[in-house]
Amino acid sequence: MITARDIMHSGAQCVNADQTLMDASKMMRDMGVGALPICGPDGKLKGIITDRDIVTRCIAMGKDPSMMKAMELSDHLHCVRADDDMDTVLKKMEQHQIRRIPVIDGERLVGMISEKDLAMGHREGMRVTDRQIIEFMDSMYVDR
What tens digit of pLDDT does each residue of 62-84 get?
A: 999 999 999 999 878 999 999 99
If one counts the domains in the chain, the total is: 1
- Determine which of 26-30, 32-36, 136-140 has the lowest per-residue pLDDT on average: 136-140
Assign residue 110 the CATH number of its domain.
3.10.580.10
Q: What whole-number percentage of the chain has pLDDT above 70?
A: 96
Q: How far is CA 49 from CA 11, 33, 126, in A?
A: 17, 11, 30
Question: If pLDDT is split at 50, 70 and 90, which confidence band does 143 have?
Answer: low
Q: Which domain holds residue 34?
A: 4-141
Greatest mean pLDDT among 37-41, 71-75, 123-127 lies in: 37-41
* Distance (Å) of CA 72 to CA 53, 67, 97: 11, 11, 21
Question: Chain-wide mean pLDDT for the chain?
Answer: 90
114 touches 9 (CB < 8 A): yes
Provide mean pLDDT across the span 32-40. Answer: 93
Residue 125, pLDDT above cutoff 90: no
